[in-house]
Amino acid sequence: MKINIYYGGRGLMDDPTLFVVNKMQAVLEELNVIVERFNLVELKNSITTLPKTLNTADGIILATTVEWYGIGGFMQQFLDACWLYGDKEKISQIYMSPVVMSTTYGEREGKLNLSVAWEILGGMPCSGLCGFIADTQMLESNKELVSIIEKKAENMYRTINQRVASLPASNQAVKQMVAISKNMDLTPQESEQLSQYASDDTYIQKQKEDILELSSFFKEMLSGKEADEAIPYIKDFEEHFKPQAGFRAIYKFLIKDRKKAMVLEIQGAELKVYYGQIDHFDVEIQMTPEILDEIIAGRMTFQRAFMGGDMKMKGDFKILRTLDQLFLFMN
């Protein structure tokens, strides 16, 4: 016979639940029961993997302490993990004895909560223990109370050994009818990792930005927006090109709100206009689409735009001035 003990308290030295659990474990081991202990406070980062430890158990003890209200977060996490990842077929064959000690109030409610939770999971209930213990030393020195604890452990052994049956409970009917958990294709570790990401505000913000960027990219691809906007500029420069004999230069236009630069490569009478990235150039020009539209419409020149502060440039100013001679947009 094998019994697992899942302790959901904080592990404080004066925790009365620890004393009760230690006594029950000693009695069970005297009866040649294999006892394995799991302190949830020490395993808090791997609680989602603990339901698999139920597969080799004939019975379990769920032990926790009510310090102010309820059964505590660690025990609740373990029960949640049993619901999400536990083998319900195996759980249905496992007896559970709840042990809830209180240093304030609510031990009976805590014991009831554990019993109800285990029944909803499909497991079999077993007589448990609950009590209000303000001082652990009082518990240790009271032989009558110690005897009660030891008898509870013996009763649990008999119940499991004899496979004592119990009447059906409505909690189990709830599980069968409406509380069916969804099958998950993720492992407990993957699901836990996702839940950690979901609580990381920085990660979520980065994901939102990536999704926005991708949606914008595909939207442009589907609508042909980028191509529609790029073609007019290329066509305008090609139609108004007036070659200068022997002149060679590369112009890089950084137009606001466009991801790619517009590049003009001039080799004498040959002109190439395209959108892309280039590292080597003679002049880099920064401007808004509105100013470029004004220039193409003939209401502005490159030199006037630069002198008026509507256009910024890096490189050889003499090569910049040649733009107005290479491309005659003025009527």
Burial group, residue 280, by CB count within 10 angstroms (0-12, 13-18, 19+): exposed
Report if pTM > 0.85: no
What pLDDT, on the 0 to 100 scale, is given for residue 265?
94
Q: What is residue 230's predicted lDDT score, i.e. its pLDDT?
A: 47
Q: Which element (helix H / strand E) includes 143? A: helix 143-162
pLDDT of residue 82: 94
The CA distance from 92 to 210, in Å, is: 45
Q: Would you state the pLDDT for residue 192?
A: 58
Helix (H, G, I), strand (E, B) or coil at 63: strand
Distance, C-alpha 289 to centroid of its chain: 41
Identical fold, 2-179 and 227-326: no
Q: Residue 262: what pLDDT?
A: 92
Below-50 pLDDT ranges, the chain? 178-181, 225-230
The domain locations on the chain are: 2-179, 192-223, 227-326
Instruction: Say which CATH topology domain 2-179 has.
Output: Rossmann fold (3.40.50)
Write down how long the chain is: 331
The Cα–Cα gap between 5 and 24 comes to: 10
Pick among 3.40.50.2000, 3.90.260.10, 2.30.30.90, 3.30.1050.10: CATH of 227-326: 3.30.1050.10
pLDDT at 221: 62
Measured distance CA(91)–CA(85) in Å, rounded: 11
Look at residue 96 in the predicted model and tell me its pLDDT: 96
Report the alpha-carbon distance of residue 228 to residue 128 in Å, rounded: 75
Give the pLDDT score at 259: 84
Report the C-alpha gap between 249 and 322 in whole angstroms. Answer: 10
pLDDT tens-digit map of 61-106: 999 999 888 999 999 999 999 999 999 999 999 999 999 999 888 9
